Amino acid sequence: MPDSLLIVEDEKLLGAELARYFRGQGWEVDLAGTLGEARRYLFDGDQDTLVILADMSLPDGNSLDLLEQARKEGISGEWVFLTGYGSVPDSVRALRLGAFDFLEKPCSTARLGVVVGGALRSARAQRQLRFQAEVGSRRYCPDSFVGRSEPAVRLRGLLARLVGVPFSALVISGQTGTGKGLVARILHHSGPRATAPMVEVNCAALPRDLLESELFGHEAGAFTGARGRHRGYLEQADGGTLFLDEIGDMDLDLQAKLLTAIEDHSLRRLGGEKAIKVDVQVVVASNRDLERLVREGQFRSDLYHRLSVFRIELPPLRERLVDLEDLVPLIIAEFNGKAGRKVTKVPERVYRQMRAYPWPGNVRELRNVLERGVLLAEGDALSEQWLQLGEGLVRPESGPEVEGDRVIIPLDGSMALDEMDSYIIRTALKQHHHNVTATARALGTTRETLRYRIQKYHLKGDGEGEGAAGGETAGLVS
């Protein structure tokens, strides 16, 4: 389908020449000689006009008035203005209203073609953003948190209220797999910032130095390997939402820098001197108890209180088992679509097994179980054969175990990757009397890597034994 261009020009010969030229370039062109005709094309038609090329002064008024009305009514499209005389007030007003460019007559068709081509690229990008925002708002709305249980109904009601207010920060807590990412996307895509970017960051997945660079950006030469300027996540999320998952793993000094950026609505890139203004809605999540971390000195109290304008606690799946009858068909339908399967029946005996299981991995574990069941199903019914619930699985109260020189870690979703990593290091430190050198040797890593992990997980010496002569203890590193 050709891209649509509206030319608003009262000089008939010039208008016809411009229409002929742009039709030759593959445009679908509409031509209007007055503001009234242009208004009918823009407001009364069903055509999505991408670019408007308008003369400034027309017999029935100034085109800037039409642009202002279009902006107020949410009519999209990039505007390029032509004028026979240069007027500073008009050019300033055009740019203030968001015009793409302001050109003086006479202007060659070659130059005009370049400018209109640039306006087309910008209009296409804006249309794509609008489309993504519309898709996101349909997919991520308060009703996307499915369930008939009292906790689910209460949470949907809270989300419905929150998406209608311009909050600055919010904390989501809950066990791993309960849907913290889903709630963050609902808050963004259904809220007033839906048309702006949403940037998601897993704080536990990046080392401290890399996380700082990614959050705040850097200038060329700020550190070894910084060959060019990089806009950080805070800048990328300007006007929208920054979602910081697992914020409890962020280093204390980086927390202080984040607090300053949130409070001042500005940041400085690494190696930069200029303060950059940012307007960001911050949503954070953690499966760790942030209030306990504050009491233990592992999380800044001032940052926590700044972030906890609102707090949402997500219930574990075992506390809303009645929601299984709503969740299971939806998840099965999703995997049916991905794998080309036609599983439509869930026997009652399958539901009984699911209701008897504690779901330590919550909805994430449920998705894994159903994916396996759909992929291995031989007919249209979900077989209990592939549920594999109950026998041999480690219950949440048992947790990981140590048998001699072996560490047994549950792979049922009850432990996150960082929790496994932390447990292994803590166990190895205890086995080697908190001697970092001996522990690093046993784990097949370097002391520097082990030091970083000890600091990341806040593992301190507990006073049980002393390091070997000349060795380094974990208590000195932390």
d(CA 406, CA 77): 64
Domains and CATH numbers, the chain: 4-136 (3.40.50.2300), 140-313 (3.40.50.300), 318-386 (1.10.8.60), 416-477 (1.10.10)
User: Span 458-469, mean pLDDT?
Assistant: 47
User: Quick check: 145 pLDDT over 90?
Assistant: yes
**What percent of the chain lies above the pLDDT cut of 70?**
89
Mean of per-residue pLDDT scores for the chain: 85
Higher-pLDDT residue of 195, 464: 195
Give the pair of three-digit tokens for residue 195.
């048309």
**What percent of the chain lies above the pLDDT cut of 90?**
43
User: Quick check: 398 pLDDT over 60?
Assistant: no
> pLDDT tens-digit profile of 218-251?
888 878 777 788 889 999 999 999 999 999 999 9
pLDDT of residue 414: 65
pLDDT of residue 470: 43
pTM attached to this predicted model: 0.62
End-to-end CA distance of the chain: 63
> pLDDT tens-digit profile of 291-344?
999 999 999 999 999 999 999 999 999 999 999 999 999 999 999 999 898 999
> pLDDT tens-digit profile of 61-102?
888 888 888 888 878 889 998 887 666 677 777 778 888 888
- In contact, 41 and 30? CB cutoff 8 Å: yes
> pLDDT tens-digit profile of 243-287?
999 999 999 999 999 999 999 999 999 988 889 999 999 999 999
The total of other beta-carbon atoms located within 10 Å of residue 27's CB is 20
pLDDT of residue 393: 41
User: Quick check: 439 pLDDT over 70?
Assistant: yes
pLDDT of residue 93: 79
> pLDDT tens-digit profile of 312-321?
999 999 999 9
d(CA 461, CA 137): 49
Closest CA to 273 of 215, 210, 208, 222: 222
User: Quick check: 372 pLDDT over 60?
Assistant: yes
Banded pLDDT at 469 (limits 50, 70, 90): very low
- In contact, 152 and 146? CB cutoff 8 Å: yes
User: Quick check: 427 pLDDT over 90?
Assistant: no
pLDDT of residue 286: 93
d(CA 241, CA 198): 5
pLDDT of residue 224: 78
pLDDT of residue 133: 56
Q: Is 111 exposed, middle or buried (0-12, 13-18, 19+ CB in 10 A)?
A: exposed
User: Quick check: 202 pLDDT over 90?
Assistant: yes
User: Span 407-427, mean pLDDT?
Assistant: 80
pLDDT of residue 413: 65
> pLDDT tens-digit profile of 400-414?
777 667 788 877 666
